[in-house]
Amino acid sequence: MAASVGARVRVFAVTLVAMGAAASGVLWGGGAPGADASASVRGWGVDLGVGSGVVARVAAQAGPPFWPAARPAGQPGARSDGGPGAGAGTDALNGTGGEVRSTVRSSADSGSEKGSQEVFFWVDPESPAAGQAAEWRRTGREADALLMERIATRPQAEWLNGPGPRTVVETRTTAAAREGRTAVLVAYYIPHRDCGSYSGGGAVSASGYREWVDEFAAGIGDRSAYVIVEPDAVAQTVAGCGRVVPEERYALLAYAVDRFKRQPNTRVYLDAGNATWHPDASRLVEPLKESGVARADGFALNVSNFQTDAVTSAYGDLLSAALGGTHFVIDSSRNGNGPHDGTESWCNPPGRALGTAPTAVTGAPLLDAYLWVKRPGESDGTCRGGPAAGQWWPSYALELARNARG
């Protein structure tokens, strides 16, 4: 495998020379830092630049996962807003990042009807990671700045978890549309969110939630977006939350799915927890159906958790089969080293690493994309010395980037 990849890298480099490309290359997403071109494996690519400025990014178009990892079981994961209840993946991220502050290209070819189109996920040029990298560069921490760019240069989801979502949604999707990109958004405002744990909150009533969803959807308009609907909401209800009336919650989720799907260029994925929260996937089938999964583009797995891509994909295939072939996406943001063995393994666990770079090229017919739904470096909650859920934590972000394979 290594020899084949190396050969493909050299062929690609020769192709660039033949095309007269007067540029230097920095390999990202896989392989050794400083390589001169990209390999044709999923998640790989090359930054083309003159001097230290990256002027273009070429992404690989196909190939299998390349960086596996491992992780424990049983616990829910923590949101970008904190709290237990989701998952992560296997494959770790490689490369040194670069000076890019714009986009990462992914070509969707997952086998779904919409998956045959190219997808360009949007990168926020003003993300906390981008600001941190710039600050460290100004203060002479060049090595740490380069590591932070492993996060800053990759697409991450925007979490909408408070009142009045329209302005932020409109701003993000408009910025993405200007570049011909797709924004990834998370709707996280269901009543009794996180069952009152680290990420407790949400709308105060069912009618208030429906109004919030309407406002969110209006903010998308006809622009391109992926929407992850309510991390934990189904799985946590199945696990048992005394504050929640299941029928009411499932009806609200179905409303959200249907409302978002009215937007012409929006793909919708209903969260279904992670592979170890409900090992018996059949427990989720009816609740997901009641929540409108059949009218969504699919379901999301491993949001904010650390389960490997291999474990999560296998679980997704089982759940998909029980749902009649429904597609799914995986949050691979922090699963490069798999799960942590210890207490509260979902909450700011030590020794974790970035996972598979976001891409819609998965090599699996049911898997539509690897996404960074949880924003690497944002705390899971006030555990292990972390700040409040969803707050930026530079030292934890740096650890994730430093531990990324490569």
Q: What is the DSSP letter of 206?
A: H
SS (H, E, C) 123-134: CCCCCHHHHHHH
Residue with tokens 């009218």: 295
- List, as one string, the DSSP characters of 113-181: TGGGSEEEEE--TT-HHHHHHHHHHHTT-HHHHHHHHHHHTS--PEEE-SS--HHHHHHHHHHHHHTT-
Query: Residue 347: helix, strand or coil by DSSP?
Result: coil
Amino acid at 83: G
194 annotated active-site: yes
CA nearest to 386, candidates 375, 371, 396, 374: 396
Contact 309, 90 (CB under 8 A): yes
The interaxial angle of helices 206-220 and 166-178, nearest 10 deg, is 20
Does residue 232 have an active-site annotation?
A: yes
Of the candidates 194, 271, 331, 368, the residue annotated as catalytic is 194
Order of strands across the sheet that contains 24-28: 24-28, 45-50, 53-59
Residue 254: phi and psi, rounded to 5, are -60, -40
Neighbours of 194 (CB within 10 A): 27
Q: In angstroms, what CA-CA distances link 124 with 24, 80, 91, 267?
A: 24, 16, 23, 20
Q: What spatial distance separates the first Cα and last Cα of the chain, rounded to whole Å?
A: 16
The label of the residue with tokens 């089982």 reads 318
Q: Which two tokens stand for residue 332?
A: 């691979």
- In the numeric block, which tokens belong to residue 1? 């495998």
- Residue 317 annotated to the active site: no
DSSP 256-310: HHHHHHTSTTEEEEEE---TTTSSSTHHHHHHHHHTTGGGSSEEEE-TT----HH
Q: Pick the catalytic residue: 91, 124, 232, 271?
A: 232
Catalytic residues: 194, 232, 380
